[in-house]
Amino acid sequence: MKKALYFIIITGIVILILSFCLHKDTSSYDTEIKCNACDTVEKYPLNKIFPNPKTVTIKGTDYLQSQLPVGEFGGRLITSTIGEGPKTFNPFTAKDATSSQMAGMMYDGLVTSNPVTGEVTPKLADSIKIDGNNYIIKLRHGIKWSDGKPITADDVMFTWKDIVFAGLGNTSVRDSILVDGKLPQIKKLDNYTVVFTVPKPFAPFLRQLTTPIAPKHWFTSIPDWEKSFDRILASTVKPDDIVYSGAFHLKKYVPAQRVIFERNPDYYEINLKNQKLPYLNQVVYLIVGDLNNEILKFEAKEIDTIGLRGSTVARYKAKESQSDYAIYNLGADTGTMFLAINLNNRKNEKNKPYVSPNKQKWFSDINFRTAIDYAIDRESLVTNIAQGLAVPLFTSESLNGIYLNKNIKGHKRDLNIARKYLAKSGFRLKNNILYDKYGNKVEFDLYTNAGNTERESIGVMIKQDLADLGITVNFKPIEFNTLVNKLTNSYDWDMSIMGLTGSPLEPHNGKNVWASNGTLHLFNQRPVGYQIDDRLVWEKELDNIFEQGALKLNFADRKKYYDRYQEIVYNQRPIVYLYSPTRIVAIRRKFKNVYPTTLSGILYNIEEIWIEK
C-alpha cells in the first residue's frame, strides 16, 4: 500500500493552509517549532487573569464565591466522550480518563489549580499553611455532603489513611507520595483541621491534595467496604444511593448512550449575588462510538462543544462567523501520543513467557528500538492524520510543559539509518522480509483501542512504515478494556499505540510510568509484589531521578533531574513518541463564563458556565 492511499481528500482551502506547515529543516526538529496551520485559529489570550474564587462566610458557612460575571440559572450543556463510557464512578479506582473525569464531577479535593497560572488554590480547604515539612489544612465550616452530613476532618483522615495510604483502588497517588519508601503522616487537630507531615521537603506534595475526598460515613456503611472497594460506585450503581460533594451528581447512566449529571442544589460555591452555583441544571455526556460520529453529532447540534481535528478545523473556521459556535486554539496538547514497546522478559505463574523469546530479544535490543524510531514517518503522521495541526514529538514531556528538555531536537525519518542499526544486531533483509541473525522472521502485533479513529489511522501508517524495513506488523485495534488488561495485567502484548494525559506543571505526576515498580510502567510492567532486582541500568537511574528530583524545591535544581530523565527515555526508546496535537475546540456561543486555557481546556469551571437565553 502506497503513502498516497493515506491522504484524505480535502478542500482547496485546507490544502492551502497545510502547505505552510511543512518543515524545511532536514536534520532535526526543534521542540519549539510552530505549526503555521494552527495559526489559522486565533489563540485565546491565555495570559488573561482568571480570578480565583474568594471565601465568603454567610451564617457560619465558608462559601467559595465566584468572581465571574453573574449569569442565569437553567438549561443543560451536552458534550461527548469517545469509547464505551465510564467503567466506574469511583474516583479511587478509575484508571481511564473518562471514568476519572466523570467521578470528578461528583467529588472535590482539598485544592485545585488556577487554570491560567497553575497556582494551587483552595477547594474543600479554606486555607493551607506550609510550616517546614508540615502542611496544615483548614476545612471550610458549614459545607455538607449531599445527604446533609458535614464534611469534616474525619473524611479527610479516612480518605488518606484508609484508602490512599492503604493502597485501595488505583495506587497512583500513594506511589507518587512515597519518600524514601515512607508515606506522609496525617493527624487530626480538630474537626476542621488536619496536618500532613512529609518525611523530607517534597516539592510535588501540595498538588497531590487535589485527590478527591470520600464521605467516610457512606463508604463505611457498605458491608465489607474494604473487600468490596473495587465494586463501590461501579457503573451499575443506583444514582439515588450516591453521597457526593461536587457541583453535579449522577442522575442517569444509559450504557453506550449517555451519562446525565444533575445540579447539586446545595453546592458550596456561590456567585456575586450569593446565589448557589452551578448555573446549569444538567451536564450530559453522549457516548459516541468514534471521532467521525462525534463530528456528526456536533453538526446536528446534538452536542455543544467538541475538540476539532484535521481538515475539520479549516472547514469549521470558514463557517464560524455565520455560525452559532466559537473556535479557540489552546496550543499544544498537555498529553502525549506514543508507541510503547514491551520489554517484559519474565514468565507468568505457569512458567510461560509473557512475550515470546524471539520478540524478547528484538524488543530488548536498543538497536532494534532505535531502528523502529527512525522508520516512523512523523511528518506524514502530522500531515495526513493531524492535517498539519500538530508537530512531531520526541520527548516524554508535552511541548507546553515548563520542564520540557528543549535540547532534544529529534530527527527526520531515515530508513538508511534504521537499516544500519538493524545490521549492527545482525538483522538481514531477504526477499524484502526482515530476519534476525538466527533466521527468524521479524513479525509482531501492534495494538490500540478500537473506535479511536486517530490512533487506528496511526497504526495503519506505522504498519506501512515498518513494512519498508521488511517487518511484518499485525495491526489489531481491540476494545479498550481488553487493551488495558493486556497492558497492566496479562502483559501479553508486543507494541501498542497509546496516549497519556499529562501535567505541564509537575513531571512527578508521571512517576508511575517511569518508576520500576510503577503501576503504569507499561514497557516493563512487573507483577504486583515483584522484586525489582532485575532493573535495567537506565531503569535504576530513572528510579533515582524521580526520588531525588521530588526532594529539590528550587526549579532550576529540579529541572536538571527531569532534563536527564527525558534524555534517558529518548536514548533508550522504550516508548517512542509520535506527535503533539494542537488542541482546537469549538463551543456554542450561547454559553457564557467560558475562559479556555492551555492548562485546563474549556469546561474546567463547569459550575460557573451559564446559558444566555
The residues, ordered by sequence, that sit 6+ positions from 531 with a Cβ below 8 Å of its Cβ are none
Number of domains in the chain: 1
Question: DSSP characters for 352-405?
Answer: -BSS-HHHHHHHT-HHHHHHHHHH--HHHIIIIISTTSEEE--SSS-TT-TT--
Mean pLDDT of 211-219: 97
> Tens of pLDDT along 432-481?
999 999 999 999 999 999 988 889 999 999 999 999 999 999 999 998 88
- Confidence grade of residue 534 (pLDDT, cut at 50, 70, 90): confident
Rounded to whole angstroms, the Cα distance separating 84 from 286 reads: 10
198 in a structural domain: yes
444 in a structural domain: no
Q: Are 457 and 385 in contact (CB under 8 A)?
A: yes
Rounded to whole angstroms, the Cα distance separating 122 from 137 reads: 9
Evaluate if residue 397 carries a pLDDT over 60. yes
438 in a structural domain: no
> Tens of pLDDT along 480-518?
889 988 998 899 999 999 998 777 888 998 888 999 988
Evaluate if residue 198 carries a pLDDT over 70. yes
Rounded to whole angstroms, the Cα distance separating 126 from 55 reads: 7
Evaluate if residue 43 carries a pLDDT over 60. no
319 in a structural domain: no
Which has the higher per-residue pLDDT, 585 or 312? 585
Map 319-360 to HEC letters. Answer: HHHHCCEEEEEEEECCCEEEEEECCCCCECCCCCECCCHHHH
User: The C-alpha cell of 14 is what?
Assistant: 485546507
Secondary structure of residue 194 in the 3-state scheme? strand
Q: Whole domain around residue 218: which residue ranges?
A: 86-232
pLDDT, residue 9, reads 26
Map 502-565 to HEC letters. Answer: CCCCCHHHHHHHHCCCCCCCHHHCCCCCCCCCCCCHHHHHHHHHHHHHCCCCCHHHHHHHHHHH
- Confidence grade of residue 48 (pLDDT, cut at 50, 70, 90): low
252 in a structural domain: no
Least confident of 123-132, 133-142, 284-293, 599-608: 284-293
| Residue whose entry in the numeric block shows the C-alpha cell 532494534 | 368
- Provide the 10 A C-beta neighbour count for residue 355: 21
CATH of the domain at 122: 3.90.76.10
Least confident of 43-47, 400-404, 572-576: 43-47
224 in a structural domain: yes
587 in a structural domain: no
Predicted TM-score (pTM) of the model is: 0.81
pLDDT, residue 348, reads 83
133 in a structural domain: yes
> Tens of pLDDT along 554-608?
889 999 999 999 999 999 999 999 999 888 999 999 999 999 988 888 999 999 9
Check the CA dihedral 510-511-516-518 and report its sign: negative
